[in-house]
Amino acid sequence: MIEALYTKKQIELQQRARALAEQVMRPVAAKHDVEQSFPWEVQAAIRDAGLYGVWIPEQYGGMGGGVLDLCLVVEEFSRACGGMGVAYAVNALGSFPILVGGTDEQKQRWLPRVASGEAMISFGLSEKAAGTDAGSMITRAEKVGNRYLINGEKKWNTGGSVASLNTIFAVTAPGRGARGISGFVVEKGSPGYRVGKHEDKMGIRCVPVVELHLENCEVPPENLLGGAEGHGFKHAMQTLDRARPGVAAQAVGLAQGALDLAMQYTHERQQFGQTIDSFQGVQWMLADMATQIEAARQLVHHAARTIDSGHKQISKLSAMCKLMATDTAMKVTTDCVQLFGGYGFCKDFPIEKYMRDAKITQIYEGTNQVQRLVIARSLLREAASSGGGGEATS
């Protein structure tokens, strides 16, 4: 980290996150991966360290940081364990809809609970038949008397079974497309709210990814985000614009963590009478990986700073950093496994977990194909607009 580029508060935050990751996360990462169990002791340590409030404004009980602060923490956590990185970051994904679309009363009601770590929060957008095409969701919310009744199923809900709050998107006006979708905060324990199937996953195994079943799920109208119907899709997209750098930071952390292990291993492993890091072929691989990671990290931080600056057009940079950092993570973690040779393919060494954890970063919060779509649409819009005002890139 070039210290002059970050505030004193950000440097301290990063150091705190690194210490917690090394002391609390790394020692239990393999155990929770094997058992596919949620690390409650890690959750308690993050809560006690006050780190759930990083991205939440001070007036709602948070630390008043922004997306860059979030990314610094997520990278450090993911360097030790990618699953624990996303278990933390998903609380930002779940609470951003409240931040971007909630009324002040709603922010006062829920954000302090998230900031203190009392309540974890997840994000319910996708459905079995509505993944990339999020706007084609069929979960329905109908106003019946003095409450909404929500019916449908949500898929790929990261953290859903351990969260007390869930931001759920549902159709309130069928036939109106994206403008007929609304966002709700649904509390665990609401009548008709049930956690379904737990996915058995290749990576990020310590964080539950579940289906949610909503069967005449009763939600008070005060939980309709923003107090008005029809803004849910926009709020979901604005949320993803702010949350995708978090996935990108997770990817940078995974790549850096894998490279750390590869540096150590290649310095110890001897072949032909010398450590393998003395071979130029290995050195070039290490150099390429370090360069790719640093380039990805800087794009993530640039996107995060741009979002924190209040710039209105952030979709392109957000998608670019997610695309680049997660493709980098997949390449770097695969190359690190290669450097470990046969040992890299076996579970005796932690390196294969980095490769497994990295894969999902190219898929969730929008596949990297969707990121390319978002980037291309922005480019075409910029080209079509004669008067400038394009999206931020530099």
Least distance from C-beta 38 to ligand CAA, angstroms?
Answer: 15
CA distance 235 to 220: 19
Burial class (CB in 10 A: 0-12, 13-18, 19+), 47: middle
365 is a catalytic site residue? yes
364 is a site residue for ligand CAA (CB under 6 A) = yes
233 is a site residue for ligand CAA (CB under 6 A) = yes
CA distance 44 to 222: 30
Give the binding range for ligand CAA (CB under 6 A) out of 70-78, 112-120, 232-240, 286-294: 232-240
3-class SS of residue 153: strand
The residue among 31 and 176 lying less far from ligand CAA, judged by its C-beta, is: 176
Least distance from C-beta 39 to ligand CAA, angstroms?
Answer: 18
CA distance 119 to 109: 12
Query: Where are any strands of DSSP class E within the chain?
Result: 121-124, 140-144, 147-158, 165-171, 181-187, 193-198, 209-219, 270-271, 274-275
The residue among 313 and 338 lying less far from ligand CAA, judged by its C-beta, is: 313
| Residue 196 near residue 126 (C-beta atoms within 8 A) | no
201 is a site residue for ligand CAA (CB under 6 A) = no
Residues 44-83 that bind ligand CAA (CB under 6 A): none
37 is a site residue for ligand CAA (CB under 6 A) = no
Least distance from C-beta 302 to ligand CAA, angstroms?
Answer: 18
Least distance from C-beta 394 to ligand CAA, angstroms?
Answer: 20
Amino acid identity of residue 102, one-letter, is G
Q: Which of 138, 237, 286, 392 binds ligand CAA (CB under 6 A)?
A: 237
Question: Which is nearest to 193 in space by CA: 105, 100, 122, 106?
Answer: 122
Least distance from C-beta 360 to ligand CAA, angstroms?
Answer: 9
Please spell the DSSP secondary structure of 252-313, one letter per residue. HHHHHHHHHHHHHHHHH-EETTEEGGGSHHHHHHHHHHHHHHHHHHHHHHHHHHHHHTT-S-
Q: Which of 370, 375, 378, 391 binds ligand CAA (CB under 6 A)?
A: 370
Least distance from C-beta 137 to ligand CAA, angstroms?
Answer: 10
For residue 352, give every residue at least 6 positions away whose Cβ sits within 8 Å of its Cβ, in sequence order, or none: 337, 344, 345, 346
Size, binding site for ligand CAA by CB under 6 A: 26
Query: Helix, strand, coil % (nearest 5) of the chain?
Result: 60, 15, 25
180 is a site residue for ligand CAA (CB under 6 A) = no
The residue among 18 and 213 lying less far from ligand CAA, judged by its C-beta, is: 213
Give the binding range for ligand CAA (CB under 6 A) out of 27-35, 108-116, 139-147, 366-374: 366-374
CA distance 322 to 243: 10
Radius of gyration of the chain from its Cα atoms, rounded to whole angstroms: 21
Q: Which of 14, 157, 256, 328 binds ligand CAA (CB under 6 A)?
A: 157
Least distance from C-beta 50 to ligand CAA, angstroms?
Answer: 24
The DSSP code for 35 is H
CA distance 377 to 383: 10
Residues 307-346 that bind ligand CAA (CB under 6 A): 315
3-class SS of residue 245: helix
366 is a site residue for ligand CAA (CB under 6 A) = yes
The residue among 233 and 340 lying less far from ligand CAA, judged by its C-beta, is: 233
**What character string, x for contact with ligand CAA (CB under 6 A) and - otherwise, covers 87-126?**
---x--x-----------------------------x-xx
182 is a site residue for ligand CAA (CB under 6 A) = no
Residues 6-35 that bind ligand CAA (CB under 6 A): none
The residue among 278 and 368 lying less far from ligand CAA, judged by its C-beta, is: 368
For residue 276, give every residue at least 6 positions away whose Cβ sits within 8 Å of its Cβ, in sequence order, or none: 266, 269, 270, 282, 339
Residues that bind ligand CAA (CB under 6 A): 90, 93, 123, 125-126, 132, 134-135, 156-158, 178-179, 233-234, 237-238, 240-241, 315, 364-366, 370, 373-374
| Residues tagged active-site | 365
